[in-house]
Chain A
Amino acid sequence: MNSNGKQSKLKLSGVKKHFGKKIVLDGIDLSIEQGKSLVIIGASGTGKSVMLKCVLGLLKPDEGSVMVDGEETTHLRGSERDAFMEKFGMLFQGGALFDSMKVWENVAFGLIHGKGIDRKKAWEVAIEKIVAVGLKPEVGNLYPAELSGGMQKRVSLARAIAKNPEIIFFDEPTTGLDPIMADVINDLIVSSVKGLGATALSITHDMASARKIADYVAMIHQGKIIWHGSVKDLDNSGNEYVDQFIHGRATGPITRRVA
């Protein structure tokens, strides 16, 4: 339960992860309500992507708990994990489209091979999702290598929402896009998440994106959540780390070693 007495859709408690001697996550505590969008901000190398992979089960946390709908998930393996993944959709930073498959096959992959839906029905759903992200149906017959970066992001978004997931993760969704295309993707993310009534967890460096897609923002620094609040409070957080980050100042408490 969260402070409002509602059960959290996703809750992380004391999640720790290290690689060798490097501590990447040092006790992450976080929760998201059903239907809300949380954006994690933080400098590169602070553990944002590792945290996302721990939630998805792509990495196993060393300690701590990851609960979805009040159910512990860190112990799930094999077919239990596969079934549990039905709840999730994910837009990867680089798109992660299967380059040996056509666009529609990419979008329908989880439907055909994960849910066992027949190809014709899956094709219909895939084309519907391709159109929903602003692409023409003919794009479905192209290969990912034939698309621009912005189009690949759209296809990746279409794939992420194809199974109508309950929770969607966005890993730096606007990285590498021009500001206009980035805003188009942000709009698509907002409309897709609201349309599905899904819960969203995003990580980004792009403050314009964070302001557009977030209900709540959390900042991660040195493997810990150092601030968590409503997006409306972002400019008045009273946290010097957050202030430095959102204004992109080189000087401040966050120091970056160059050599």
Chain B
Amino acid sequence: MTAKSEKIAIDVHHTASFLTDLLPDICQALGRTILVFLQRVGQLSIFVGKSVMHCFLPPYFPSQIWRQLVDIGYYSLPVVGMTALFTGMVLALQSYTGFTRFNAESAIAAVVVLSVTRELAPVLAGLMVAGRVGAAIAAEIGTMRVTEQIDAMTTLSVNPFKYLIAPRVIAGTLMLPILVLVGDIIGVYGGYVIAIYRLDFSEGSYLSQTWDILETMDVVSGLVKAAVFGFIVAILGCYNGFNSQRGAQGVGAATTNAVVSASIVILLFNYLLTQVFFS
């Protein structure tokens, strides 16, 4: 055996023994990560199951449900309305810029109404509400958790799932479709304003093109998506707040996780629901 091949053999042996030493550590780390992931999924599934069950079982807290309907619905109206308005306006402008290259300006009304009702209003409203409401829910419930207010509630014979979680989940699921319906109208109006006053479309033909292309399913699919997104925002805000770790840092992390996880899950479910409705 030459000196060179001997050196290669030694190197191979060293590499092999290094990998053999490292392999158990890698497997252990991988196993731990998978177990933690499965534990979290299980924990979340149980939380969702309990929350849904408490939405249907008495006692109910109508005053809490009403408060959340106002908080989530009424107070989100400006942010959802503004988002929809500017989205509709931008959509009309961008479509015009692109479609003039193909002499397809007449399709602008269709693009605006379909994009807004099917996709943009539910998704953008979901994301805006995740930022506004999801964060507020996680911060409020998280603070209640770390200051033992949730424990205090339990000692006063009031189930926190019924008093805190169920009203927020019910309000989120009911109010987001209403917000999206308003967003649909405002978004389409935004496109209409730009088309009429900026791009010199005729009022009558723009409106008739909008109505002609629009089908019930376009609006219904958007509203169903909105209900799912509202549920996601409320449940993830509650889950992260309810399981908040101690201290200000714990509440901060819960708030961030609530917004980030809700945003990602909304986008994921948007794809899945679109696949279900339109494939």
Assess whether A85 is in contact with B148, with CB atoms less than 8 Å apart.
Answer: no
B149 contact set on A, CB distance < 8 A: 96-99
B155 contact set on A, CB distance < 8 A: 56, 58, 85, 88-90, 169
B211 at the A interface (CB under 8 A)? no
Whole-angstrom CA separation of A114 from B154 in the bound complex: 10
Assess whether B147 is in contact with A94, with CB atoms less than 8 Å apart.
Answer: yes
Pick out which of these stretches binds chain A: B100-108, B156-164, B165-173, B234-242.
B156-164
B61 at the A interface (CB under 8 A)? yes
Whole-angstrom CA separation of A53 from B59 in the bound complex: 25
**Residues of A in contact, count (CB < 8 Å):** 28
Assess whether A114 is in contact with B152, with CB atoms less than 8 Å apart.
Answer: no
Residue of B nearest to A100 (CB): B140
Assess whether A109 is in contact with B154, with CB atoms less than 8 Å apart.
Answer: no
A90 contact set on B, CB distance < 8 A: 152, 155
Query: A255 CB to closest chain B CB, in angstroms?
Result: 26
Query: B160 CB to closest chain A CB, in angstroms?
Result: 11
Whole-angstrom CA separation of A49 from B157 in the bound complex: 20
A83 and B157 in contact, given A113-B61, A113-B163 (Cβ under 8 angstroms): yes
Whole-angstrom CA separation of A163 from B148 in the bound complex: 19
Chain A contacts with B in 140-162, Cβ cutoff 8 A: 159
B151 at the A interface (CB under 8 A)? yes
Assess whether A92 is in contact with B151, with CB atoms less than 8 Å apart.
Answer: yes
B181-195 contact mask (Cβ, 8 Å, vs A): 1 or 0: 000000000000000
Chain A contacts with B in 108-128, Cβ cutoff 8 A: 109-110, 113-116
Interface residues of B (CB under 8 A from A): 59, 61, 144, 147-149, 151-159, 163
Given A86-B157, A93-B148, 13 new contacts (CB under 8 A) = A56-B155, A82-B158, A82-B159, A85-B157, A92-B148, A92-B152, A96-B148, A97-B149, A98-B149, A99-B147, A110-B157, A113-B156, A116-B59
